[in-house]
């Protein structure tokens, strides 16, 4: 699946993980896909949940086995 | 529209997180223009919170200098500012707080002759009345009605405060509620007046809240409602106020079509 946008948030912590993701998603159209690289631990535990609360759909989740995960998020996929 | 810098994402993160703000709302705030008339008890907290929120252009109108007796409530000024122009002291505080904000200063008292030019200078989006006298309050109301500008009125005295928001075409104006300045003998003298410093903080930050909500286009404004606050009983009342069809400036047959200066009640005591 091809993503329309890619964002790496492994260099920031909460709440900047969410803020950066939110701002990038705002500029996408509904149905477009964001590929997100995030850290294990707090980010992977909380961010997908927050994105779902905002109406976005997590399409795929992959463990990169280097302490990071990659998820594909469909903007507005749950609305 | 410009992209928010990483530093801005971080500075404003706690409000960008809000679903009613987001990156788009933050950009609206950064490109907004708010005029604050009076940098005293109300204008100080209003200016500081609006600056902190990232309002891109803040206009400060004041002709006065900082007096030691101001510092009990006018928190934008510091002890070292006593004797300096309030607009300069205000500018410094805002610049130190947030470099995203451009401060525009007007070293004058608003009058019928200059208020249109001041409001029109940057074509301000929203005006905050932080003045301390009835002539200025009626002048600001009349100018905003005639120029079709939204504004927040407020007043504080002793342990009491009140505020109302005007949006052209949508709400009653200040004059719909209060008609005209009270007779001179009904206005408390400075000796009687006194005010607890925090009153400006409570009411001034409500004015800033209204400005931000107007800029963002979210929530319900204090339009058609007068909010009163009594600190002694800790009571807020939200009183519905109707549009006055016979209002002299925004009624069906307005008699005020030009701005006028009301006479300021004289006061022997230092402001």
Domain residue ranges of chain B, discontinuous segments joined by +: 15-240
Given this model, what pLDDT does residue B270 score? Answer: 46
Closest of B30, B42, B6, B11 to residue B140, by C-alpha: B42
Hey, are the CB atoms on B16 and A19 less than 8 Å from each other? Answer: yes
Hey, are the CB atoms on B14 and A54 less than 8 Å from each other? Answer: no
Q: Is residue A11 left, alpha or beta, with left meaning phi > 0 and alpha meaning psi from -120 to 50?
A: alpha
Over the stretch B125-167, which tens digit does the pLDDT of each residue have?
999 999 999 999 999 999 999 999 999 999 999 999 999 999 9
User: Mean of the per-residue pLDDT values for chain B?
Assistant: 94
* CATH class for the domain made up of B15-240: alpha beta
Hey, are the CB atoms on B9 and A18 less than 8 Å from each other? Answer: no
Contacts of A9 in chain B (CB under 8 A): none
Put simply, whether A26 touches B (Cβ < 8 Å) is: yes
Tokens of A3: 């993503």
Q: What count of other Cβ atoms lies within 10 Å of the Cβ of residue B212?
A: 25
Backbone angles phi, psi at B78, to 5 degrees: -110, 170
Domains in chain A: boundaries: 1-10+17-34+48-56
Closest residue on chain A to B5 (Cα): A20
- Sheet containing B225-230: give its strands across: B102-106, B57-61, B33-37, B126-129, B151-157, B160-166, B225-230, B235-240
Over the stretch B62-96, which tens digit does the pLDDT of each residue have?
999 999 999 999 999 999 999 999 999 999 999 99
Active-site residue flag, A14? yes
Q: How far is CA B254 from CA A35, B81, B107, B142, B145, in A?
A: 60, 44, 32, 11, 11
Cβ partners under 8 Å of residue B45, min gap 6? B75, B76, B200, B201, B204, B205, B208
Hey, are the CB atoms on B23 and A23 less than 8 Å from each other? Answer: yes
DSSP string, A26-67: HTSPTT-EEEEEEETTHHHHHHHHHHHHTT-EEEEEEE-SSS
C-alpha distance from A40 to closest chain B C-alpha (Å): 22
Going B113 to B119 to B120 to B122, the CA torsion angle's sign is positive
pTM of the model: 0.93
Contacts of B17 in chain A (CB under 8 A): 15, 18-19, 22
Q: How far is Cα B59 from Cα B119, in angstroms, rounded to an integer?
A: 9
Cβ partners under 8 Å of residue B138, min gap 6? B174, B175, B180, B181, B262
Here the ipTM equals 0.88
Put simply, whether B97 touches A (Cβ < 8 Å) is: no
Q: How far is Cα B153 from Cα B219, in angstroms, rounded to an integer?
A: 18
* Catalytic residue (choose from A13, A14, A16, A19): A14
Over the stretch B31-61, which tens digit does the pLDDT of each residue have?
999 999 999 999 999 999 999 999 999 999 9
C-alpha distance from A2 to closest chain B C-alpha (Å): 24
Given this model, what pLDDT does residue B138 score? Answer: 97
Q: How far is Cα B271 from Cα B265, in angstroms, rounded to an integer?
A: 13
């Amino acid at each position: 699946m091809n993503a329309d946008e890619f964002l790496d948030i492994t260099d920031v912590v909460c709440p900047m993980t969410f803020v950066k993701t939110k701002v990038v998603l705002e500029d996408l159209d509904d149905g477009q896909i964001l590929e997100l690289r995030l850290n294990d631990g707090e980010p992977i535990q909380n961010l997908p949940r927050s994105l779902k609360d905002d109406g976005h759909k997590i399409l795929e989740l992959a463990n990169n086995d280097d302490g990071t995960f990659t998820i594909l998020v469909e903007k507005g996929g749950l609305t | 529209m410009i992209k928010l810098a990483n530093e801005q994402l971080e500075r404003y993160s706690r409000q960008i997180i809000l679903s009613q703000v987001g990156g788009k709302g933050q950009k609206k705030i950064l490109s907004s223009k708010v005029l604050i008339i009076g940098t005293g008890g109300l204008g100080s907290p209003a200016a500081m919170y609006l600056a902190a929120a990232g309002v891109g252009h803040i206009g400060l109108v004041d002709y006065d200098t900082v007096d030691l007796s101001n510092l009990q409530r006018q928190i934008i000024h510091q002890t070292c500012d006593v004797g300096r122009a309030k607009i300069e002291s205000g500018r410094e505080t805002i610049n130190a707080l947030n470099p995203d904000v451009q401060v525009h200063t007007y070293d004058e008292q608003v009058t019928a002759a200059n208020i249109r030019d001041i409001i029109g200078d940057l074509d301000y989006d929203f005006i905050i009345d932080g003045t301390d006298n009835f002539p200025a309050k009626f002048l600001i109301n009349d100018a905003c009605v005639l120029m079709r500008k939204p504004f927040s009125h407020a007043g504080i005295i002793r342990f009491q405060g009140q505020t109302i928001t005007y949006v052209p075409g949508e709400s009653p104006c200040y004059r719909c509620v209060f008609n005209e300045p009270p007779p001179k003998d009904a206005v408390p003298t400075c000796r009687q007046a006194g005010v607890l410093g925090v009153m400006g903080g409570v009411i001034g930050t409500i004015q800033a809240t209204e400005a931000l909500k107007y800029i963002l286009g979210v929530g319900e404004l204090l339009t058609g409602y007068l909010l009163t606050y009594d600190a002694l009983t800790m009571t807020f009342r939200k009183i519905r106020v109707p549009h006055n069809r016979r209002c002299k400036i925004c009624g069906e047959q307005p008699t005020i079509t030009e701005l006028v200066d009301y006479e300021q009640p004289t006061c022997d005591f230092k402001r």
